[in-house]
Structure 1
Amino acid sequence: MGPFKIPKNCFILWLAIMGRLSTLDKPWLHQISGFCILCPDGVPETHDHLLFSCSFYRCCLATIQQQIPFLWPHRDWQHGVQWASSRWRGKHVVNVAYRSLLASIVYHIWQERNSRRF
């Protein structure tokens, strides 16, 4: 796995990239209120919203960017993942650190969502 990779963070990131997180836009979860619990906007909870367009995410990202020059130019999840996978390639320590940071952000947003939901 490598020294910077936390397995559960990588697993949640992998699920998010594959679109397999149990967000409320899934057909089998239609009986549950489908709105994002992390932001007061009343927006439906989807991967695109929860991962990188939610107001909770934007607040987290702004806090991280005060400490680390973490660039994430996209508000769309799929384009952001494609951008990151083409830009943060290889085993250079900066690229590994950015990939680990992305995995950590996704994991902690998902954990916060679950702790508020359940």
Structure 2
Amino acid sequence: MGRLSTKDRLPQWGTIDLAIFPLCDHIDESHNHLFFECSYSKRVWSKLLKWQNISKNVRRWQEEKSWATSNASSRSVQADIYKMCLAGAVYHIWLERDARVFSQGQKEDKGLVRQIIQEIFVCGSMTKKFATKLAQMNCYP
């Protein structure tokens, strides 16, 4: 719903003057840029799409949501894995952004992708249908 406290909204509140995005250091931070337009986020999402064997280019936030609504709305295991990847990517990219803003830490995109995939394996292994599909996908991009 566009309510995240991204740096493009903070100057409106008089909190900060500069809105540089901490994941790529050269473009203003906005909600749209945060998850899929930034080079860091784009690499993370591209690797997760490749891991799922989905051949498509990374798009803007609204376009990704529309694609997910039309292509991953079924109750299939593949659709559920896609939704888990999308949620995991959004969550972990936001955590990485916060880590860089508040503690100057940094995690490589490859490490972030591995963490998301490992969490999907942990959650997905709880049911037999997920475990079977995930066993077929048992490799990292």
TM range (shorter): 0.7 to 0.9
1:8 maps to: none
Report Cα offsets for 1:12-46 as digits up to 9, x if no partner: xxxxxx11111111122652521101003x10001
Say which SS state the counterpart of residue 37 (structure 2) adopts. Answer: coil
- Distance across 2 between alignment mates of 1:84 and 1:22: 24
Letter in 2 for 1:68: Q
TM-score, length basis structure 2: 0.62
Based on CA coordinates, which of the two structures has the bigger radius of gyration?
Answer: 2
Give the length in aligned residue pairs: 100
| Cα 1:91–1:68 shift into 2, 3 Å | closer
Say which SS state the counterpart of residue 43 (structure 1) adopts. Answer: coil
Structure of greater relative contact order (alpha carbons < 8 Å, 6+ residues apart): 1
2:98 maps to: 114
Letter in 1 for 2:64: G
Say which SS state the counterpart of residue 62 (structure 2) adopts. Answer: helix
Letter in 1 for 2:2: G
| Cα 1:97–1:43 shift into 2, 3 Å | same
Say which SS state the counterpart of residue 115 (structure 1) adopts. Answer: helix
Deviation at 1:83, TM superposition (A): 1.6
Q: 1:10-21 counterparts in 2 under 5 A?
A: 18-21=1-4
- Distance across 2 between alignment mates of 1:61 and 1:54: 10
TM-score, length basis structure 1: 0.73
Unaligned runs of 5+ in 2: 103-141
Aligned-CA RMSD value: 1.9
Letter in 1 for 2:28: P
1:60 maps to: 44
Identity, % of aligned pairs? Answer: 36
- Distance across 1 between alignment mates of 2:66 and 2:77: 20
Is 1:33 matched up with 2:13? no
- Distance across 2 between alignment mates of 1:59 and 1:73: 11
Deviation at 1:79, TM superposition (A): 1.7
